[in-house]
Amino acid sequence: MKVYRLHRKQILPISLQDAWPFFSTPRNLEEITPSFLNFHITSQVPDDIYSGLIITYRIAAVAGIPMTWVTEIKHVQAPYQFVDEQRIGPFRFWHHQHRLREAEGGIEMEDIVHYVMPWGWFGRLVHALFIRDRLETIFDFRRDCLAQRWKVPPRSPAP
């Protein structure tokens, strides 16, 4: 079984007191998810997350085919971190840590995702051909959306 890891960090020019309400409000996930996923929350959700919260979504993750994704929110430590874990969905395993910490110029937002594909060797092939790039695209969109929302200056191209 191959456990994949996706790791992203981003500095946002806001305080923890401004960041936490945005990132801990489930409805805001729709705003920072690319439209090609047709992502919609289907359960009733509170304004603020808590440990044990179950959230259901409809998402078109593969070939535009809608599917249900169910996550449980765990390990909430406001205003610093929480975890969402897939209970039902396209992955065999999905564990997504959301971390916030004060940093020079604002906050550092960090995403650490560990996931396992279903289907053994075929899942590893699908990951190499499609899923890895799709996840990178989703998190690139999220980075750009947050940068635009909080007016982060454009990144300099690498030399």
Contact predicate 12/19, CB 8 Å: yes
Work out the average pLDDT over 31-35. 94
Whether pLDDT at 26 is above 70: yes
Q: Which residue segments constitute the domains of the chain, with CATH numbers given? A: 3-149 (3.30.530.20)
**Whole-prediction pTM value?**
0.92
pLDDT at 63: 73
> Over the stretch 107-119, which tens digit does the pLDDT of each residue have?
999 999 999 999 9
Instruction: Determine what percent of the chain is predicted with pLDDT higher than 70.
Output: 96
Mean pLDDT in the chain? 94
pLDDT at 159: 55
> Over the stretch 51-94, which tens digit does the pLDDT of each residue have?
999 999 999 977 778 999 999 999 999 999 999 999 999 999 99
